[in-house]
Structure 1
Amino acid sequence: MTAAEFRELTVADAAAAAELEAVLFAGDNPWSEAAFRSEIAAPHTFYLGAFDGATMTGYAGLAMLGPREDPEFEVHTIGVDPSRQGRGVGRALMDQMMHTVDLLDGPCFLEVRVDNTAAIRLYESFGFFTAGVRKNYYQASGMDAYTMTRPKISERRDQ
């Protein structure tokens, strides 16, 4: 993996995340700077970024839903600069989010484009499985999404 610095994002990072989002998801209504500001500032979310110096090379966001005693998690977003893909940045971001999920022993959910094979393989390597399909989930392109689920750690140990 290319050396990267990882840190929790602040609202000051929203513009950089939105710029990268616009490149990655141009055909599917990328999140705006305002959307990133709102999500980063929310008390129930954890957003982190990968940086090469001052340049953001990736970002990821996780939400905790429900009470701390019985939480569920949802991966809101994850993206890596196209020039850095395939170098382990996405895996490192997912690792941090799944560590958080496992500390609180909650299940985790996400949606992913059905044609995003690399992301699907990454999620499967973290224990996610396909639970269903959301038709036309990505409204701008009309692309479907898989709904993927990762059981809580205590349920994975029982298997």
Structure 2
Amino acid sequence: MAPEALAVLHSACFTTPRPWSAAEFSELLASAPCFLLSEPEAFLLGRVIADEAELLTLAVAPGARRQGKAARLVTGFAAEARARGASAAFLEVAASNAPARALYAAAGWTEAGRRKRYYHAPDGTTEDALVLVLTL
């Protein structure tokens, strides 16, 4: 997927945290540690630095959800991170995002911490982020 398509899909999925721009996706994709996994109407962006992986973002178009795309991408992320030498993976998820939290829990991710008021919504409210970890 091109950076422009990633930005369009990301904006269809997120308001908090704010959607990323095509320029931001382009910059990340140009970085050697980053990798992109995709399915029709879905993508995951991750990176591996040293022996740690980070799941940067996961987006599935609202009309394409509940079809297993996110689960396949999360499984693919773990395999790619392992192949790139990572022994552990991390991500942040909004504390209120119950569907994402259930997806990650089903894939073996566990809560390692909380970042208070991490996400800032357009209306000025804030929300905690949960830090999740997965041993690879």
Q: TM-score, normalised by structure 1?
A: 0.78
Aligned structure 1 segments of 4 or more residues deviating by more than 4 angstroms: none
Q: Which residue of 2 aligns with 1:94?
A: 74
Q: Which residue of 2 aligns with 1:146?
A: 130
- How large is the RMSD of aligned CA atoms in angstroms? 1.3
User: Does 2:9 correspond to 1:29?
Assistant: no
Match among 95, 115, 139 for residue 96 of structure 2: 115
Q: Which residue of 2 aligns with 1:58?
A: 42
Match among 16, 19, 42 for residue 8 of structure 2: 19
Aligned-pair identity (%):
28
The answer as to whether partners of 2:46 and 2:77 remain within 8 angstroms in 1 is yes
Structure with greater Cα Rg: 1
Show structure 1 runs of 5+ residues with no match: 1-8, 52-56, 153-159
Show structure 2 runs of 5+ residues with no match: none
Q: Matched residue pairs, number?
A: 132
Q: Deviations over 1:76-132 (max 9, x none)?
A: 000100001111010111111111123335100000011111111111122110011
Local SS of the residue matching 2:9: helix
The answer as to whether partners of 2:53 and 2:86 remain within 8 angstroms in 1 is no
Match among 112, 116, 119 for residue 135 of structure 1: 116
Supply the distance in 2 between the matched residues of 1:27 and 1:92 (Cα, whole angstroms).
24
